[in-house]
Amino acid sequence: MNDTAHRATVRTWVGLAVLVLPMLLIAIDGMVLIFALPDITADLEPSGTQQLWMLDIYSLMLAGLLITMSSLGDRFGRRKVLLIGAVLFAIASVLGALSTEPLMLIAARALLGIGGATIMPGTLSLIRNMFLDRAQRRTAMAVWSATGALGAAAGPIIGGWIIEVFSWHAAFLMNIPVMVLLLVLAPIFVPESRNPNPGRIDVLSIVLSLAGMISFVYGVKTFAEGTEPGIAFLTFFAGLLLVALFVVRQLRMPVPMINVRLFRVRAFTGAVVTDLLSIFSLVGALFALTQFLQLVVGLSVVQSALWMLPQAAVSAFAGFIAAALVKRMPTSIIVAAGVLITAGGFATLLTLTPATQPWVIAVALCLVGLGAGVGLTLTNDLIMSSVRPEQSGQAAAISETAYELGTAFGTAILGSALLGFYRSGLADTAPAGLPTGVLESAKETLGAALLYAEELPGALGTALSTAATESFTTALAWTGGLAALILLAVAIFAGVMLRGVSAQADLATHDH
């Protein structure tokens, strides 16, 4: 196919703007509930377990259903399934806003996760079908990536403002106008696409992928919480077994639900694994940085978010830099360099002290944003360019699943590493003479330690506060160093796997 004969029109670019609307909202929505939780807890009085389910059910449903929903989009029409997702998301938002008890809100969050899983792969696969010219598609991917970065950064600011001015109910209601706009504009500007040969619906594959991914991610999240190691172990390995059975079944089907043979393509595998490990490092370390800004530096949620805004802007701009550079330099070098810049940003955290100013964090985050914006824009382009347009739903599902797994693993593993470093440091530096049980409780989280420090008399409280903040800062520095080491390995991996990959022509010229 001669892609230059299929250049995008103004209508196509307007269609892209329509498609990034829900992605912007989903990125914002992912952050809002975290900041709304204190108000929700005061209003609905959920138990500790119910609070965890409010937070976790969204990502569990999202991870579990991405593959299934992309398969339905391939069969029935990607735009149609996207619009159904928008309707579900709007209904779930109303249900969330009207919730009067914890179980009702958990159900709303589950439905939001289903809606999100229905929307997300559709946006990527529709972009693949709308932008047939590789260079234009890379620019479209840069826009798509930039939207996600800006949404994640804007989430705390927008969410914090809405909750402060109105209430936690309004945090759900803000979704509805965007979804209505999508329902009106998508049929006008976004062309329908589907796989002409989708194969039959295989119920067993759907069950295996859904149960496997939910069990797997739940196991990882439970491991991160550290309260039920037996359940974490059981669900993790049950999920692993179900996912393995799903892969075996796909290999035996003449027309699989997901073509796992795509992983035979070196560029595809290299891009997916680079994405997963990059997100793993990013999420794990960024999660800790927000705590540092709020609990050690003493900034409010909105102030912390404002210091993170430059990183989002740099990340958004970096995608367009990558799209320009790739015309002159090998893709492998640019992606590897992007990952190395991100590693450098995290390596600067090794210099942290409790007295570190917020601007130092902002500079480190700008390096992280620059590298991530460059690397992730090009890996997304490679993933989608490794398949023919009719396979775009499958590639999008794999890409989004890698993102969700990277997020879950980053929070769990690097979060656990941070907690381990913190506990070890506090055990060595905590002042003598603490009341019974205080040290063990203070070792659970920095927030708990600071609360106990406020209740203790004078010098003893000050000593505990100092020990806790210094231990956390040291733990964050080591976690940043660990993330930098992982990213160094990712850079080498990307440089090797993506060597010789073309940035000009589509890579999918034959069956995989």
**What are the DSSP calls for 403-469, one per residue?**
HHHHHHHIIIIIHHHHHHHHHHHHHHHPPTTPPTTHHHHHTT-HHHHHHHHHHS-HHHHHHHHHHHH
Helix (H, G, I), strand (E, B) or coil at 405: helix
| Cβ–Cβ < 8 Å for 65, 185 | no
Planar angle of CA 407, 411, 412, nearest 5 degrees: 115
Does 52 or 355 have the greater pLDDT score? 355
Tell me how far apart the alpha carbons of residues 291 and 289 are, in angstroms, rounded to a whole number: 5
d(Cα 257, Cα 68) in Å, to the nearest integer? 8
pLDDT tier at 323 (50, 70, 90 boundaries)? Answer: confident
CA distances from 477 to 308, 398, 443, 445, 494 (A): 18, 32, 18, 16, 25
CA-based end-to-end distance of the chain: 18
Beta strands in 353-441 (DSSP E): none
CB 378 within 8 A of CB 334: yes
Amino acid at 338: G
Helix, strand, or coil (residue 430): coil
Tens-place pLDDT, residues 477-502: 998 898 899 899 999 999 998 887 76
The string of DSSP codes covering 310-338 is HHHHHHHHHHHHHHHHTTTS-HHHHHHHH
Contact 66/246 with Cβ under 8 angstroms? no
CA distance linking residue 247 with residue 62, whole number of Å: 19
Alpha-carbon gap, residue 399 to 474, rounded angstroms: 34
According to the model, what pLDDT value does residue 224 have? 67
- pLDDT, average across residues 283-291: 74
192/187 Cα distance (integer angstroms)? 8
| Residue closest to 442 by CA, chosen among 450, 385, 231 | 450
Distance CA 146, CA 315 (A): 7
* Contact status, residue 135 vs residue 327, Cβ threshold 8 Å: yes
CA proximity to 82, closest of 95, 98, 69, 65: 69
Closest CA to 167 of 311, 32, 39: 39
Cβ proximity of 93 and 176 under 8 Å:
yes
Torsion angle (degrees, nearest 10) of CA 231, 237, 240, 242: -80
**231 burial via Cβ count (<10 Å: 0-12, 13-18, 19+):** middle
pLDDT grade for 504, boundaries at 50, 70 and 90 = low
Rounded distance between C-alpha atoms, residue 498 and residue 340, angstroms: 15
Mean pLDDT of 30-54: 76
Identify the pLDDT of residue 512: 42
The pLDDT-based confidence of 1 (bands split at 50, 70, 90) is: very low
pLDDT band per the 50, 70, 90 thresholds, residue 114:
very high
How much is the mean pLDDT over the chain? 84
Distance of CA 87 to the CA centre of its chain: 23
Whole-number percent of the chain with pLDDT over 90:
18
Q: Which residue has the tokens 């928008």?
A: 86
**Contact by Cβ (8 Å): 138, 17:** no
- Average pLDDT estimate for 208-227: 81
pLDDT band with cut points at 50, 70 and 90 for residue 506: low
Residue 165 reports pLDDT greater than 50: yes
Each residue of 370-422: pLDDT tens digit? 888 888 888 888 888 877 777 777 888 888 888 888 877 787 778 778 888 88
DSSP 434: P
Q: How far apart are CA 16 and CA 143, in angstroms?
A: 8
What lies within 8 Å, CB to CB, of 270 at 6+ separation is 382, 493, 494, 496, 497, 498, 501
Token pair for residue 287? 């999660």
Q: How many Å apart are CA 333 and CA 191, to the nearest integer?
A: 35
Exposed/middle/buried for 15, CB within 10 Å: 0-12, 13-18, 19+? buried
The position carrying tokens 């009719």 is 390
The torsion defined by the Cα of 124, 127, 132 and 136, in degrees rounded to 10, comes to: -100
The CATH H-level superfamily of 264-512 is MFS general substrate transporter like domains (1.20.1250.20)
For the chain, helix (H) and strand (E) counts, in that order, are 18, 0
CA distance linking residue 40 with residue 47, whole number of Å: 11
User: SS in 3 state form for 276-299?
Assistant: HHHHHHHHHHHHHHHHHHHHHCCC
Taking the C-alpha atoms of residue 103 and residue 53, their distance in angstroms, rounded to an integer, is 9
Most confident of 179-193, 320-334, 445-459, 494-508: 179-193
Look at the domain 1-199 and name its fold: Growth Hormone; Chain: A; (1.20.1250)
